[in-house]
Amino acid sequence: MYIPTAILIGFVTGLGAFLGSLLGLGGGFLIVPMLTIFLGIPIKVAVSLSLLSILANSISASIVYIDRDVVDYRLGLLLESTTMLGAIAGANLNLMASESYIYIVFGAVLIYVAYRMVAGKKYEEHGSRGRTRRNLAIGVGVSFLAGLLSGLLGIGGGILKMPILILLLSLPTRVAIGTSLFMISITSATSTYIYFINGVINLVYAPYAVLGASAGAQLGSRLGFRIEARYLRVMFSIMLLIFSILMIGRGLGI
Amino acid sequence: MIKRIYRDIVRTLLIISISSLALGGGLLLLNIDLGTEFIEFGMWLLIATPLAPIIFVLGESLSRRDPLMLIVVLIVLGIIIANLAFYGFGSIPFLTLHPLPW
């Protein structure tokens, strides 16, 4: 009974990672709702599988940026110090909280992401900002929130990290992506460890989730440039809104 | 040179962990319980892989005598160790082979 479900999980995580990578998003925003809504996987298990998938994908993707020497390790680790604390808090919060609250919080975050996808402007580098103490302090603080959401909801956190790196700290986009991926790998490893050690990750599902997401992300990154981004964003935004309604409804017991 | 070694280490760890997960999944498909061991090994390796860049940066900060960077790296390593300690070092497979005094 487990194996067919495990294979379906591989397909769903692959689809989520594929769709997410078309827009340079981590798959978490899609993987968790798809696992819970389409396959009825308990949300805490779905979150843990999503983090596992993100871990594998972020390590794989970051290798390319490491090779090209476009990772700001100093800044990344500075921000990661609080991101990790947030991830630890988020994962433990997930373990303690009831599923209803997690569904509602996830649904609310999906609404924000859906809005950002259609209303958010393309990141522009602001030369007037930079690594002032104030900006670094803000960055460190927001990084804690990014880690908290990552550990709690099974997302990568890039949706918060990228604006910090580009808009606030004036990193060039390519360096911001590399640094963000470097950070996401550490954050997701931190949370995945907590879920793993607490027995939340289903070991039968784990290989399929990782393999499916890896294959999906690879395919998505190769095909992404061939598809008009603007239409994708609108389509995804609508999909995320539908997911958010379903997730919040589930949390409210509707 | 060092960067290339470190990149290769990360890539190798990733390949071994995913291969172990895949092998474990395959064995479980054949109803062979050993598959669980391979999956657990793959999981541990995957979780440990991001340590490689942190250790690389630690080495860089020592060789460049960058005290600020060194402090940041030590803080990050401290958080990792504290997280492991919270759940007990005995949870780490290779450490359980040699029981610690406490």
B40 and B58 together in one domain: no
B43 and B56 together in one domain: no
**pLDDT band for position B41 (50/70/90)?**
very high
What value does the mean pLDDT take over residues A137-142?
90
B32 and B54 together in one domain: no
What value does the mean pLDDT take over residues A86-93?
94
Nearest chain A Cα distance for residue B73, angstroms: 7
Token pair listed for A240 = 């995320």
Out of A118-122, A208-212, B64-68, least confident range: A118-122
Nearest chain A Cα distance for residue B44, angstroms: 8
Interchain proximity A81–B69, CB inside 8 Å: no
How many domains is chain B built from?
A: 2
B41 and B54 together in one domain: no
- Residues of the domain holding A175: 2-251
Predicted pLDDT at A146 = 93
Residue B80 CB-half CA count within 13 A: 23
Q: Among partner residues A59, A60, A84, which is closest to B76 by beta-carbon distance?
A: A84
Residue-averaged pLDDT of chain A: 86
Percent of chain A with pLDDT over 70: 91
How many domains is chain A built from?
A: 1
B100 and B55 together in one domain: yes
In three-state form (DSSP H/G/I as H, E/B as E, the rest C), the secondary structure along chain B is CHHHHHHHHHHHHHHHHHHHHHHHHHHHHCCCCHHHHHHHHHHHHHHHCCHHHHHHHHHHHHHCCCHHHHHHHHHHHHHHHHHHHHCCHHHCHHHHCCCCCC
B42 and B58 together in one domain: no
pLDDT(A125) > 80: no
Estimate to the nearest angstrom the gap between the alpha carbon of B3 and the chain centroid. Answer: 18
Predicted pLDDT at A149 = 94
Q: Among partner residues A185, A203, A214, which is closest to B50 by beta-carbon distance?
A: A185
Interchain proximity B47–A59, CB inside 8 Å: no
pLDDT tens digit sequence for A145-201: 999 999 999 998 888 888 888 888 888 888 888 899 899 999 999 999 999 999 999
- Residues of the domain holding B4: 1-47
- Supply the DSSP symbol for A186: H
**pLDDT band for position A1 (50/70/90)?**
very low
pLDDT(A110) > 50: yes
B32 and B57 together in one domain: no
| Full DSSP string of A62-111 | HHHHHHTT---HHHHHHHHHHHHHHHHHHHHHHHHS-HHHHHHHHHHHHH
B15 and B42 together in one domain: yes
- Classified as helix, coil or strand, A17 is helix
B58 and B84 together in one domain: yes
Residues of B in CB contact (< 8 Å) with A are 3, 6-7, 10-11, 14, 17-18, 21-22, 24-25, 28-29, 36, 39-40, 42-43, 46-50, 53-54, 57, 60, 66, 68-69, 72-73, 75-76, 79-80, 83-84, 87, 91
**pLDDT band for position B1 (50/70/90)?**
low
B35 and B66 together in one domain: no
B6 and B38 together in one domain: yes
pLDDT(A215) > 60: yes
pTM of the model: 0.88
B16 and B27 together in one domain: yes
ipTM of the complex: 0.85
pLDDT(A50) > 90: yes
**pLDDT band for position A223 (50/70/90)?**
confident
What value does the mean pLDDT take over residues B53-65?
88
